[in-house]
Amino acid sequence: MSVIENLIRIGMVSSVDVKKHTVRVVFEDKDNLVSGDLPVIVPYSTKAKAYRLPEVSESALCVFLGNGIQNGFCLGSYYTDEDVPPVSNKDQVGTWFEDGSYVFYDQASGSLHVKAAGNVRIEGDLTVTGSITSESLKTKSIATDSITRAGEAL
């Protein structure tokens, strides 16, 4: 039974390796035993790539290969009574950050919401189809080489 009990474990992230995309996890119920470097599971990692690591002191759910806590994976984190979800709306899918920034899609309204605590940087061409509404435009002029409307240069 002890082998099965140790295959899936809950612990606390104790260190993060940003280059290897791994974490070490401490298991308080096992006398603060610390895992080896555990790769953090991502949704994709070949051509398209995802990058997000749990933070130190974040709860972690881990799975091990059956030969100790040195070989396994960190499946990710989960919400607790202290660390609650940022929203309680099943239609909103996104990422919310500690500084108040967020990017989320509201499936019910079909709206993409972006808020940045700092600047927003877009690299590449920008095409807007539809209206642009500004609630507080601070820039009085915009410098550009060309402006087109409905595909026609102005």
- Per-domain residue ranges for the chain? 2-76, 85-122
Q: Which residues share a beta bridge with 106?
A: 92, 111
Exposed/middle/buried for 38, CB within 10 Å: 0-12, 13-18, 19+? buried
Q: What are phi and psi of 75, to 5 degrees?
A: -80, -20
What is the distance between the alpha carbons of residues 105 and 111, in angstroms, rounded to a whole number? 6
User: What is the pLDDT at residue 2?
Assistant: 66
CATH H superfamily, domain 2-76: Gp5 N-terminal domain (2.40.50.230)
Contact 74, 56 (CB under 8 A): no
| Model confidence pLDDT, tens digit, residues 83-130 | 899 999 999 999 999 999 999 999 999 999 999 999 999 999 888 888
In this prediction the pTM is 0.75
Top-confidence residue, 56 or 130 = 56
- Distances in whole angstroms, Cα of residue 147 to Cα of each of 19, 31, 127, 144: 43, 66, 11, 7
Tokens 């991502």 appear where?
A: 42
